[in-house]
Amino acid sequence: MIRDFIFFFSEALISIRRSGLMIAISIATISVSLVIFGIFLLISANISNLSNFFSAKLEVRVYLKDQVAQTDIPQLKAQFESMPHVRKVEFIDRDVAWDDFKKNFPTIKLNSILSNNPLPHAFRLTVSETEQIPSLVTSIRTLKTVDHVSEMGEYANRIATFSKYTRIAGIILVSLLTMATLLIIVNTIRLTVIARQDEISIMQLVGATVSFIRWPFIIEGLIIGIIGAVIAITFLSFGYSLLVVKFQQSVPFVPMLFDQMALNLIYLTVFALGTILGIFGAYLSVSKTVQHY
């Protein structure tokens, strides 16, 4: 009911005003934890972004020697196509590849460094099974026209392994932090509960239900959680955009996550964790502190 809610809300504000310092400390703690949680989410999202970037797992690139003439191309293509487990063969002209590269990395002023195209002609081979890639690569390497072979699958695999371990480490770190934050919120709210013990005992005397007594504190926890989350998100979004700019300047070839939708989802997760921590912390501390009938 609205009039009850107004009452609960004003009670929560009274309580926050009375124990200002403890509330401020709680908000700071929850902010720090949420920032770390957010950083973990951002790192994790970037790693999986990177992994997708390389995850043309079933792809082998064959770079040809410079002296290979354009006329030899059809014959080579046929040769690759005849190899076992090769599903598709695509020729990548060096000029096309160079244009693509320049388009992909507009921040690098390539023309000022290089006068002509450094890229060789290449073939992109799509393989039917990952396990067949090593033997295929060995046999292609024996060809005289081939300069070198790169298989992106290896990078993708390595990144996938790396991302698995960072995820595990992150989950452990975040759960420990969440526990610590929860304890701090529980204690903060408990102090405000104790500060209002007289009021609570009078409420119980005149027949207030436990949930009626609990609501103002839940709202207090919610306010702490929301303020903490907003601070954390502000910090994260400013920090990230700053970092992205710096990163793109120094290591421009590493793709970073730009997708605003994906970033918003991360910030929303941080916000949700903050509010849940606030509410749950308050609930726990009132249940533990308020004497039951």
Partner 1 sequence: MIRIKRLRKVYPNGFVALEDVDLHITRNEFVYLVGQSGAGKSTLLNMLYRADVPTSGEIYIDNISLSGLAPKQVPYLRRSIGVIFQDYKLLPKRTVYENVAFALRVMHFSRSRIRRQVTQVLELVGLQQKMNHYPSELSGGEQQRICIARAIVNNPPVLLADEPTGSLDPDTSWEIMQLLSKINARQTTVVVATHNKAIVDDIRKRVVALEHGRIVRDEQLGLYHA
Q: Toward partner 1, which CB reaches closer, 183 or 210?
A: 210
Tokens of 9: 């809300």
Q: Give the residue ranges of DSSP H helices in 83-151.
A: 94-104, 110-113, 133-141
- Decide: is 53 part of the binding site for partner 1 (CB under 8 A): no
- Decide: is 289 part of the binding site for partner 1 (CB under 8 A): no
Tell me which residue of 127, 173, 175, 186 sits closest to 153, measured CA to CA: 127
Closest distance to partner 1 from the beta carbon of 223 (Å): 20
Q: Which positions ≥6 away from 30 have C-beta within 8 Å?
A: 181, 184, 185, 224, 225, 228, 229, 232, 274, 277, 278
Q: Toward partner 1, which CB reaches closer, 103 or 292?
A: 292
Closest distance to partner 1 from the beta carbon of 197 (Å): 12
- Count of chain residues binding partner 1 (CB under 8 A): 19
Q: Which stretch binds partner 1 (CB under 8 A): 1-9, 85-93, 180-188, 240-248?
A: 1-9
How far, in Å, CA of 45 to CA of 12, rounded? 37
- Decide: is 2 part of the binding site for partner 1 (CB under 8 A): no
How far, in Å, CA of 125 to CA of 90, rounded? 6
Tokens of 145: 């026209």
Q: Toward partner 1, which CB reaches closer, 191 or 203?
A: 203
Closest distance to partner 1 from the beta carbon of 203 (Å): 6
Q: Which positions ≥6 away from 150 have C-beta within 8 Å?
A: 60, 61, 63
- Decide: is 4 part of the binding site for partner 1 (CB under 8 A): yes
How far, in Å, CA of 262 to CA of 268, rounded? 10
- Decide: is 292 part of the binding site for partner 1 (CB under 8 A): yes
Q: In what order do the strands lie in the sheet with 86-92?
A: 86-92, 122-127, 59-64, 146-151
Question: Interaction with partner 1 in 246-285: which residues (CB under 8 A)?
Answer: none
Q: Which positions ≥6 away from 235 have C-beta within 8 Å?
A: 31, 35
How far, in Å, CA of 86 to CA of 16, rounded? 68
- The correct pick among 7, 63, 91, 280 for binding partner 1 (CB under 8 A) is 7
Residue count of the chain: 293
Q: Toward partner 1, which CB reaches closer, 117 or 204?
A: 204
Closest distance to partner 1 from the beta carbon of 190 (Å): 21
Q: Toward partner 1, which CB reaches closer, 121 or 196?
A: 196
Question: Interaction with partner 1 in 71-110: which residues (CB under 8 A)?
Answer: none
Burial per residue of 164-185, b for 16 or more beta-carbon CB atoms within 10 angstroms, e otherwise: eeeeeebeeebeebbeebbebb
Question: Interaction with partner 1 in 173-232: which residues (CB under 8 A)?
Answer: 198-199, 201-210, 212
Q: Are 34 and 226 in contact (CB under 8 A)?
A: no
Closest distance to partner 1 from the beta carbon of 221 (Å): 21
- The correct pick among 3, 103, 109, 144 for binding partner 1 (CB under 8 A) is 3
Residues that bind partner 1 (CB under 8 A): 1, 3-4, 7, 198-199, 201-210, 212, 292-293
